[in-house]
């Protein structure tokens, strides 16, 4: 049986005294999957994705990534594991006054000494790959432009290149298209999907848009009230399930305990063909 790249066990996050953002999430993620996480606002999607690389510290539970217990790491060891996880943000997190290629090269910062990065002494191979990636996303003419002169869609494409140049094993994207118009959103999703499948990366994306989830995901997970209420192939996510989840009809949902949450059968890794999508 294929080994998961990431295993989440009974993950709980409580903010302050009583905001239970995650209520006991247990999930395995396998190499090459393109997973989209959907769910209503406040469901816990961002908290979940940010717990994986410890931008959020979980209250309880285990996060086993590439054989390491992320929840137990700190300092240098945490930084080392984190460098294997690329992150794409809703608001891009680029350095506005810096040009496009330097922003992409920032993806390699954790792998080169500080003085070299300050002097701009990047490896030739990294520069070459950064240019190749920028060509792939159609930004070859913008390489020396300041990042803050780009459109939102272009900025996010730079964000994708930066995350890929980090050469991660896992890519996390927290609402990558939430600030974009539909046309740019589609380009960004398409490029994120194509590049991660080409590089055989595992990708976990938070989205609000169910249509994009169905178009690109190999697997869709729905989170509601900090619990997994759907875990299956895009074709299994029927309109009536979507309606139930977003309109709060919880008759078919079992939200009381972790053991009751998976009302869709658990998927076997062999079903999760790399490159499969629902187009």
Ligand X SMILES: Nc1ncnc2c1ncn2[C@@H]1O[C@H](COP(=O)(O)OP(=O)(O)OP(=O)(O)O)[C@@H](O)[C@H]1O
Q: What does the binding site for ligand X look like in residue numbers (CB under 6 A)? A: 15-16, 19, 21, 39, 41-47
Q: Is 42 or 96 the residue whose CB approaches ligand X more closely? A: 42
Please, what is the angle between helix 182-198 and helix 152-165, to 10°? 10
CB closer to ligand X out of 47 and 108: 47
Phi, psi of 193 (to 5 degrees): -65, -50
Task: Name the residue nearer to ligand X (CB basis): 35 or 133.
Answer: 35
List the 85-88 sheet strands across, edge first. 85-88, 170-174, 202-206, 34-38, 219-224, 227-232
Centre a 10 Å sphere on the Cβ of residue 262 and count the other Cβ atoms it contains: 18
d(CA 66, CA 163): 18
Q: How far is the CB of 212 from ligand X (least distance, A)?
A: 14
Beta strands in the chain (DSSP E): 6-15, 19-29, 34-38, 60-65, 68-69, 85-88, 170-174, 202-206, 219-224, 227-232
Two tokens at 169? 């094993």
Our CB check for ligand X shows the closer of 41 and 259 to be 41
Tell me how far, at minimum, the Cβ of 127 lies from ligand X, in Å.
36
Nearer to ligand X, 103 or 156 (CB): 156
Shortest Å, Cβ 45 to ligand X: 4
Give the nearest distance from C-beta 189 to ligand X in angstroms: 17
Closest separation between CB of residue 55 and ligand X, Å?
Answer: 10
């Amino acid at each position: 049986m294929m080994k998961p790249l990431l295993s989440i066990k009974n993950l709980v996050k409580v903010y302050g005294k009583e905001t239970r953002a995650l209520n006991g999430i247990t999930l395995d993620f396998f190499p090459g999957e393109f997973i989209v996480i959907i769910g209503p606002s406040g469901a816990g999607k961002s908290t979940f994705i940010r717990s994986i690389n410890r931008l959020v510290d979980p209250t309880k539970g285990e996060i086993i990534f590439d054989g390491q217990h992320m929840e137990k790491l700190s300092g240098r060891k945490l930084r080392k594991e984190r460098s294997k996880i690329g992150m794409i943000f809703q608001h891009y997190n680029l350095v506005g006054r810096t040009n496009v290629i330097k922003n992409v090269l920032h993806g390699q910062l954790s792998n080169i000494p500080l003085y070299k990065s300050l002097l701009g002494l990047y490896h030739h191979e990294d520069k070459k790959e950064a240019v190749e990636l920028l060509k792939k996303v159609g930004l070859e003419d913008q390489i020396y432009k300041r990042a803050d002169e780009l459109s939102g869609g272009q900025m996010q494409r730079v964000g994708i290149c930066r995350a890929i140049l980090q050469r991660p094993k896992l890519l996390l994207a927290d609402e990558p298209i939430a600030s974009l118009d539909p046309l740019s959103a589609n380009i960004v999703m398409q490029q994120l999907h194509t590049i991660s499948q080409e590089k055989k990366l595992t990708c976990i994306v938070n989205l609000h848009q169910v249509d994009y989830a169905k178009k690109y995901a190999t697997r869709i997970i729905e989170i509601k009230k900090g619990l997994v209420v759907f875990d299956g192939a895009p074709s299994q996510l029927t309109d009536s399930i979507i309606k139930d989840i977003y309109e709060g009809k919880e008759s078919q949902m079992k939200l009381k305990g972790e053991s009751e949450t998976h009302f869709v059968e658990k998927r076997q890794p062999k079903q999760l063909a790399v490159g499969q999508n629902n187009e």
